[in-house]
Amino acid sequence: MTYRTRFAPSPTGYLHLGHAYAALTAHDATRANGGDFSLRIEDIDRTRCRPEYEQAIYDDLTWLGIRWDREPLRQSGHLAALEAVLETLKLRGLVYPCYKTRKELAQAAQGAPQEGDPLASEDNEPTSLNPAWRLSLDAAREQLGAEWNDLGFMELGAGPKGETGWQVARPEINGEVVLGRKDIGVAYHLAVVIDDGLLGMTHIHRGHDLFEATHTQVLLQKLLGLPTPVYCHHALLLDAEGRRLAKRKGSKALRDYRAEGMSADEVRALIAAAAKA
């Protein structure tokens, strides 16, 4: 079996050392196993993606010495195929429309509604023709029957609490996730599962911030008849203050190290040292 893996960045900012670590981990493991490495551009949320960030992904990865074995898969390039899968889930009764806004749901999750609060009712009345679509865990459980009890994944890395080895899937920790968004259509969990299946992924290397997401993604794989890859979650690199690196917090971009004259080997060494710390 060919060892197939990928790096799947979203072009919503410049890559930082944490992204480089995730990309190198997947790439180096693939090369060590004589496998096949894909680059996937996760650009379904067109409101947050920018072409210059996408170009910077190609430039930064190439500079680091990362090579991909096929044309990068851009999620925005096959939205109709992604939507078609969402339609099948609607037909199978596995998703239901949700008319509440994100803000309303967040407020509702924060505690008891106040008097006069428009959320005081538990209703989900149609307010537009364009709802979000949520995964129904009851419908999924019913349709999978006994297979529900076998849901899980092999973790060869470790989750945030050191979880390793066989993990029984607990999709309920993420609740009834949105699979179709009002604004952009197919949402993260569904797009990732469809595209990992399309690319024939055998091993998913990624940061352990996505460990919990895996519990939902293995359920979606089963519902769509796709094989579940092996997962290798890794710890996140932290900055000098011990906080996780993040684009929105302005963590130093990979391209800034390059602009300062650092070589790719030096950046690799920096990442290796930070990963050990």
- What is the SS3 assignment for 186? strand
Q: Are 180 and 86 in contact (CB under 8 A)?
A: yes
CB of 10 to ligand GLU, least distance (A): 4
Identity of the residue, 104 or 239, whose beta carbon is nearer to ligand GLU in the bound complex? 239
Of 85, 98, 158, 210, the residue at the interface with ligand GLU (CB under 6 A) is 210
Identity of the residue, 92 or 249, whose beta carbon is nearer to ligand GLU in the bound complex? 249
9 phi/psi in degrees, rounded to 5: -80, 155
Give me the DSSP letters along 136-172: -HHHHHHHHGGGGGG-EEEESS--TT---EEEE--GG
Listed as own residue / partner, the contacts of 148-153 with beta carbons closer than 8 Å and 24 or more positions apart are 151/218, 151/219, 151/222, 152/218, 153/214, 153/218, 153/228, 153/229, 153/230, 153/231
The alpha carbon dihedral of 147, 89, 37, 70 has a sign of positive
Identity of the residue, 53 or 133, whose beta carbon is nearer to ligand GLU in the bound complex? 53
Give me the DSSP letters along 117-142: -GGGS------SS--EEEE-HHHHHH
Q: Does 216 bind ligand GLU (CB under 6 A)?
A: no
Site string for ligand GLU, 7-36 (x = CB under 6 A): -xxx--------------------------
CB of 38 to ligand GLU, least distance (A): 12
Cβ count within 10 A of residue 160: 13
Stretch near ligand GLU under the rule CB under 6 A, chosen from 6-14, 29-37, 133-141, 160-168: 6-14
What residues numbered 147-206 form the site for ligand GLU, per CB under 6 A? 192, 206
CB of 63 to ligand GLU, least distance (A): 19
Identity of the residue, 39 or 151, whose beta carbon is nearer to ligand GLU in the bound complex? 39
Q: Are 94 and 140 in contact (CB under 8 A)?
A: yes
Identity of the residue, 53 or 257, whose beta carbon is nearer to ligand GLU in the bound complex? 53
CB of 195 to ligand GLU, least distance (A): 9
CB of 44 to ligand GLU, least distance (A): 10
CB of 12 to ligand GLU, least distance (A): 8
Of 15, 18, 39, 42, the residue at the interface with ligand GLU (CB under 6 A) is 42
Give residues in contact with ligand GLU (CB under 6 A): 8-10, 42, 192, 206, 210
